[in-house]
Amino acid sequence: MSAERIYELLLRAYPPDFRAEYGREMVLLFRDQCRESDVRTVGFWAAVIWDVARSAPALRAEAWCTRGRESTRTIEVIMKLAAMLTVLVGVFGILNAMVEWGAALTGTIGGVHALALVLGVCASALLLGAGAAILRGTGGRQAARLALFASLVTIVAARLLFPWMSVFSQLVGIGLPIALLIGLYWPRRASPAGAA
């Protein structure tokens, strides 16, 4: 196996992006070093291996950190989209409960049904507030967590009082706050730009 082939194998210790950008130049530099030195000596290979062992781990760690920051930005974008969806679901929930209230007024509405509808409106309003708090940025995360938890408790209470919600409404009313709470509590690094 040629010295250059061995060096190319050693270059695999570097991150792929780094190799793609600088790999060719590193091989050319290695060729020059091979012409100037005796590649059959232990000292030559010790210096080459030391250089790779000294620089490759730091570059790998930097690549992992960069990938983590990009992942954090992706999560932030997903949270913004989820917050917009939450605002829409909150508005839709309020409108849906009002329509249900209007339909119930044409017939007889019991006190438990009315209380369940009021709780449904409150849960939707809390969802609306949580979505708005998430959109506000990092300062609104704690308020969003509290609103989501309160919305979850309220929608469960409404469902237990009177089963007026469809299965889809229950899944959205219970599943959306849980998913957002998980997203808000998910550990993430602060993005370098200080993005919200």
Per-residue pLDDT of 28-44, as tens digits, reads 999 999 999 888 888 89
Question: What is each CA distance from 150 to 47, 142, 147, in whole angstroms?
Answer: 63, 12, 5
User: Can you give the pLDDT at residue 188?
Assistant: 55
User: Can you give the pLDDT at residue 194?
Assistant: 44
Per-residue pLDDT of 11-21, as tens digits, reads 989 998 899 99
**Residues of the chain with pLDDT > 70: what percent?**
82
pTM: predicted TM-score of the whole model, two decimal places: 0.53
Distance separating alpha carbons of residues 121 and 127, to the nearest angstrom: 10
HSE value, Cβ hemisphere, 13 Å, CA-based, for 121 = 11
Per DSSP, helices labelled H in 37-166 are 42-106, 111-136, 141-161
| Rounded average pLDDT over 166-171 | 72
* Confidence category of residue 1, pLDDT binned at 50, 70, 90: low
